[in-house]
Structures are given as C-alpha cells and as structure tokens.
Amino acid sequence: GEELEADVVVFATGYGKDYSVFTDEVRGKLDLQTDGHWLYRHTLPTAVPNLAFVGSELATISNISSYGIQAAWVAKMWAGEIPTPAAKEMEEEITANKAWKRKWMPLTTSRASLVLLHQTHFHDMLLKDMGLPHRRKGANVFAEFFAPYAP
C-alpha cells in the first residue's frame, strides 16, 4: 500500500547480460568475473550501496519462487526490518561461495549465479534472515528429513 520513488526499475527477461546501464565507476565496483557476477546472497554487491539484483544473478530449479523470496528479502532489508551485514561479512560469504563452486562446478559464464538443486538451502538462508519459518514440514526435525511432502 505504499509508493516509493525510484530513478530506475528494470524488468527484463530473455536477454544477454549487459551491465552498460551502469557508469564505469559502478561497473568497476561490481564483482564481474569470467565465471559470473559474485554477490552476497546472490543479490547484493558489496561495494555499491542501494543496489540489488533480483532474479538476474540467480538460477534455481523454481525461479519464480526464488525470485519472490529474494524480492521480499531485499524489501525487508531496505525497509530496515533486517540489518544489512557489514561489507566484511558479505565478502567472506562470497569468498567461501566462490571457493566451493569453483571446486566442483565446471567453468561457465553463469557459475556465480547457479544455485539450482541447492535452492532449498538458499531459500532457508533468506527465510532465516527475515525471521520467518523455514521448515516445510512443521516443527518436527525428523519429519523435515524423512517424511514425504504432502499437499
């Protein structure tokens, strides 16, 4: 129910990635590498405040669910409902993510954005950050691991 002013909001699909919309200064601060764009929680660049990438730097099995959770996470962070981590904490997560992915994933220009089958863990991280329940089968920890999903 609230309107916010924005200089630019870009909605796009089916495109090749091109960061020329940003100034040279901003592009220089983004972590653009041969294997992708490395971001905190696949969303926030560490050196450019007030900028988030929702959907464009994240590939999962069910993209629309992931993008919805990602958008809610950004909204809560920017509304001040959850704290923005310090740059050092964000860099540490990105460094760990790079090392993990580069250890086993083949080189591709989108490696940084690939979450795919690890999406449940990714969703859980964002839900925990927002203080929301992350278990899909109630409070029973054993059910979370061993019980089948039901409608």
pLDDT at residue 138 above 90? no
Mean pLDDT of 8-20: 79
Instruction: State the residue for tokens 């994240």.
Output: 58
Q: Classify strands 32-33 and 36-37 as parallel, antiparallel or unpaired.
A: antiparallel
Give pTM, 2 decimals: 0.84
Instruction: State the residue for tokens 């591709």.
Output: 108
**pLDDT (0 to 100) of residue 118:** 92
**pLDDT (0 to 100) of residue 102:** 97
pLDDT at residue 147 above 90? no
Q: What is the pLDDT of residues 74-92, one digit of tens each?
A: 999 999 999 999 999 999 9
What are all long-range contacts of 84-92, with beta carbons under 8 Å and residues at least 24 apart? 84/44, 85/40, 87/46, 87/47, 90/40, 90/44, 90/46, 91/46
Cα three-residue angle 136-141-146, rounded to 5 degrees: 80
Question: Tokens at residue 131, please?
Answer: 């203080």
Angstrom distance (rounded) from CA 44 to CA 110: 16
Residue 42's pLDDT band (cuts 50, 70, 90): very high
**pLDDT (0 to 100) of residue 106:** 96
Question: Measured in whole angstroms, how far is the alpha carbon of residue 94 from the centre of its chain?
Answer: 11
Question: Tokens at residue 14, please?
Answer: 């089916």
Q: What is the pLDDT of residues 52-72, one digit of tens each?
A: 999 989 999 988 999 999 999
